[in-house]
A and B are shown apart, each in its own frame.
Chain A
């Protein structure tokens, strides 16, 4: 029969790792989304030419491996600025900006999907820019953006597996530590994979459902 050296303590250790994965994801997605909405609106508002510097900076976050972003941020904070920052802080900062870069793109897509004529109609009815944004653009853009945003949030959860590089022990790193001790790679990895899968699949399916439901109206 199936036999493992995994103890209750090890399971608690894994659960702590999973908790860390979720914590990093929630902090990064929350900050990243706020920043992303800000950047997205600013980009649309300024137009392509004026927003070019912002576009360039955000593009960097999407063109460099996350691993390198983390190492660079850690080295910059620790060696250059000589700040005493915990790995968790660095990880959350980098992941937030990483999320913001993708989120800005999603937000821009959502705003662009609102027909210009609809917005002009709103302004002709005497709505201010803020009212137009709040009552016309936001509801319509959300329909376009939300499914992609769910995908992004799940992507960040999966990418948070890389924060081990700044000494944050999240789920995959805890699994690896246990593998080193127990020498049961297959079983432990399956356990770890199942955790990601169980969180990710239902939400991804939900996103797909929303996309389908909201696409043709």
Chain B
């Protein structure tokens, strides 16, 4: 039954290529996270704006992002928009898909964080002569980002894991895509994907540990 010979050496020889792929994976994840946070702040502002249509747009975004599979969102960004004659490269499609997803989830996290900040603080800021936007920028936003720091870390890990979906729209430069291509060449499926899994594991561990250190440094009082 157990007559399979593992060929780790052959697979390990591909490690440099896979690490290059890991760099691309990181690029996508970090970019999607940075843009995602900015968009989530905008969505939060729209929800706070008091304008019905603007809040409805934000809520629709959040609900679609949270209630459909990430893979569907990436398909939409690649095959869906192709109906309108817009053709994105796999990298861009993947980035748009993950960013859309990140922004939705983060906006919901931010909403939860906002509940923990007393509304009186905004009013105090306003009575000190700040504009609504200034009060948000200098009083609410820093606290909101702090409270939502842990969910943001989780979302970052999710973003890393989601990059593996890029292969479905033809992405072949990220870690999963590279592994898939190598697999097509060598047929060492188990060995190659096991190495990819280890790389993914190490990346996510580095991110969670890094975030923990960062939190200890940023929020120490």
Contacts and interface: CB of A to CB of B under 8 A. Distances in A.
A79 interface: yes
Contact of A189 (B4, B80, B193): B80
A162 B72 CA distance: 10
A185 interface: yes
A24 B63 CA distance: 23
B26 interface: no
A154 B81 CA distance: 26
Interface size class, chain A: 35 or more
A66 B164 CA distance: 9
Does more than half of chain B's interface fall in helix, strand or loop, or is it mixed? Answer: helix
Nearest to A83: B1
Given A64-B201, A71-B193, A179 B66 contact: no
Interface in A113-164: 154, 158-159, 161-162
Given A63-B205, A81-B1, A189 B164 contact: no
B70 A79 contact: no
Given A71-B189, A76-B190, A184-B83, A162 B71 contact: yes
B63 A64 contact: no
A65 B161 CA distance: 5
Contacts of A76: 190
B69 A159 contact: yes
B196 interface: yes
B75 A189 contact: yes
B204 to A, nearest CB: 4
Contacts of A187: 83
A192 B72 contact: yes
Interface string A45-76: 00000000000000010011111110110011
A196 B176 contact: no
A155 to B, nearest CB: 10
Contacts of B67: 154, 158, 196-197, 200-201, 204
Contacts of B69: 158-159, 161, 172, 196
Give me the 10 closest cross-chain CB pairs, A-B, nearest first. A186-B83, A65-B164, A200-B67, A158-B69, A161-B69, A185-B79, A75-B189, A75-B190, A63-B204, A65-B161
